[in-house]
């Protein structure tokens, strides 16, 4: 989906103000450090992480979403660094992160391969990748091949270990209603 789609979505739809319930589940597994929220949207998850001691960088190519997050983090006096950029053009030099949060980023095949390469390049040696996704296998009616099953997601990270997984049934609206099994996978390099 294009930047224009997402700008329009963030202008016209309700803000995502609640952090994803899955985030509660990794609190005890991962000690706070440096996190990057890739495709942060309005930043509910970034805000949650910052409130829980993480130093956070939030990236999104929608300037509307990034403006919402800037406003909110200023109001709450949270030190979140926001970057308005596409993943393709993201340049963070040599900066690395202890936690990479990927929340419901559904890309076509080639951009996805490039995106997961970016994820690898941003990860600290002992860092964790937290992936929140919609499992398309749970909703063949809403079949959308940009959505991955947990097995498909893990196939991009064969040299990583699955340290936690969880799932729940949820309703999403990314332009169209989509009921599916949401899942969280936490991976660490072996
Ligand atoms: C479904 S929302 C995810 C929201 C958030 N991560 C969460 O878990 O609640 C997808 C977000 O990713 C952003 N996005 C999609 N493709 C992107 C890209 N290529 N570069 C940067 N941001 C992108 C969109 O602007 C949108 O805000």
CATH of the domain at 30: 3.40.50.150
The residues that bridge with 184 in the sheet, in sequence order, are 132, 166
Average pLDDT over residues 24-51: 93
Residue 115 neighbours by CB distance under 10 Å: 18
Q: Strand, coil or helix: what is 171?
A: strand
Residue ranges with strand state E in 61-147: 80-84, 97-103, 123-135
pLDDT value at 175 more than 60: no
What length does the chain have? 190
CA 7 to centroid of ligand 1, rounded, Å: 10
Domain count across the chain: 1
Domain interval for residue 11: 3-189
Average pLDDT over residues 25-50: 93
Residue 143's pLDDT band (cuts 50, 70, 90): low
The pLDDT, as a whole number, for residue 130 is 97
CA atoms of 152 and 8, how far apart (whole Å) = 30
The label of the residue with tokens 């319930």 reads: 21
Q: Strand, coil or helix: what is 19?
A: coil
CA atoms of 123 and 119, how far apart (whole Å) = 6
What does the pLDDT look like over 112-139, one tens digit per residue? Answer: 999 999 999 999 999 999 999 988 887 7
Residue 72 neighbours by CB distance under 10 Å: 18
Residues with C-beta less than 6 Å from any ligand 1 atom: 6, 16, 20, 39-41, 45, 60-62, 65, 86-87, 103-105, 132, 174
Measured from the CA of 3, which atom of ligand 1 is nearest? Answer: 25
Measured from the CA of 172, which atom of ligand 1 is nearest? Answer: 1
Mean pLDDT of the chain: 91
22, 43, 49, 105, best to mutate for ligand 1 pocket (most atoms within 8 Å of CB): 105
CA 25 to centroid of ligand 1, rounded, Å: 22
CA distances from 18 to 87, 100, 130, 140 (A): 24, 19, 17, 28
């Amino acid at each position: 989906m294009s930047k224009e789609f997402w700008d329009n979505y963030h202008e016209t739809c309700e803000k995502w103000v609640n952090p994803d319930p899955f985030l509660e589940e990794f609190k005890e597994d991962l000690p706070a450090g440096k996190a990057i929220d890739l495709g942060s949207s309005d930043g509910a998850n970034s805000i949650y992480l910052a409130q829980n001691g993480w130093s956070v960088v939030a990236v999104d190519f929608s300037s509307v979403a990034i403006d919402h997050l800037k406003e909110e983090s200023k109001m709450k006096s949270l030190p979140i660094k926001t970057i308005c950029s596409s993943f393709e053009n993201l340049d963070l030099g040599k900066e690395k992160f202890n936690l990479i949060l990927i929340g419901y980023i559904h890309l076509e095949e080639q951009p996805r391969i490039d995106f997961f390469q970016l994820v690898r390049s941003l990860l600290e040696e002992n860092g964790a990748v937290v992936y929140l996704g919609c499992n398309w296998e749970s909703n063949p009616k809403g079949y959308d091949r940009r959505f991955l099953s947990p097995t498909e997601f893990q196939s991009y990270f064969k040299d990583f270990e699955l340290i936690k997984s969880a799932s729940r049934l949820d309703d999403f609206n990314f332009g169209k209603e989509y009921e599916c099994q949401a899942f969280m996978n936490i991976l660490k390099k072996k």
